[in-house]
Copies of this chain bind each other. A is one copy, B any other.
Amino acid sequence: MDGHARAARRPGGGPPLTPGAGQTRYSRVSPFEGLTGELRRLPGIGAKTALRLAYHLVKGPKEDIRRLARALAEVAERVHPCPRCGNYCSAEICSVCRDPSRNGSVICVVEEAYEVGAIERTGRFGGLFHVLGGRLSPLDGVGPEELHIGRLVERVSEMDEGPKEVILATNASVEGEATAVYLEELLRPLAVRVTRLARGIPVGSDLEYVDGTTIAEALAGRREVRGDGA
């Protein structure tokens, strides 16, 4: 087992192979480096997970890797923000905006496009969306100009006839709340009802484990129990 005792140069011209130096890294298992490097750039994927994914892909049928590569290329070529609401789509305008059965007098405002999915999956919202593209966060240099707020005001002015409503579904964080307050003040003159998602106890939680602020909000927002079970 002394074959590496000589500090010989490796064919690739890399650093000399000295035992115990631990700097060998992946240079010997090299062709993955490109792939693991790319995988590591993804959120929540560290060095070990990237390696595990790369090996999983290489061990499986080549067709699986190619299909993933094609799916990525397809998304890169075809997906773009909907010019009306900012949700991602591959058509000219997104499927929500072009659905004639959606209620055009209600707009639900979310921070990011992925939150559209969270609301859509409930199956309980039939209006349109507006994606802000973030939230007000002066410390991070995100002011109203960085968000799609001007377009929201335009859309509210051009809304369908009837009882108009804007639901502010920004997150329940400090920045999300600040963004909601800002939008409420901005939209108030436009003769539109501005609402905010209810704060309260999440369904299925034990009161014991819910934080005090949430319980306080749930108390403040308590609702009459109607005898008819509705």
Contact = CB atoms under 8 A, between A and B. Distances in A.
* Copies of this chain, whole number: 2
A141 B4 CA distance: 38
A214 interface: no
Interface residues of A, number: 92
A165 B25 CA distance: 25
A205 interface: no
Contacts of A123: 17-24
B25 A103 contact: no
Interface string A22-43: 1111111111101101110111
A157 interface: no
A65 interface: yes
A170 interface: no
A2 B42 contact: no
A124 to B, nearest CB: 6
A155 interface: no
Interface stretch (A56-64, A179-187, A219-227): A56-64
A142 to B, nearest CB: 14
Contact of A89 (B24, B31, B52, B165): B31
Interface string A99-139: 11111111000001110110011111111000000000000
Given A25-B121, A30-B90, A57-B75, A3 B101 contact: yes
Nearest to A106: B1
B43 A52 contact: yes
B121 A22 contact: yes
Contacts of A66: 72-73, 76
Contacts of A34: 71, 74-75
Interface of A: 1-6, 8-12, 17-32, 34-35, 37-39, 41-44, 49, 51-59, 62, 64-76, 78-79, 87-90, 94-96, 98-106, 112-114, 116-117, 120-127, 165
17 contacts: A2-B103, A8-B100, A11-B98, A22-B121, A24-B123, A25-B121, A28-B94, A28-B95, A30-B89, A43-B56, A51-B114, A55-B88, A57-B72, A58-B75, A58-B113, A66-B73, A69-B73
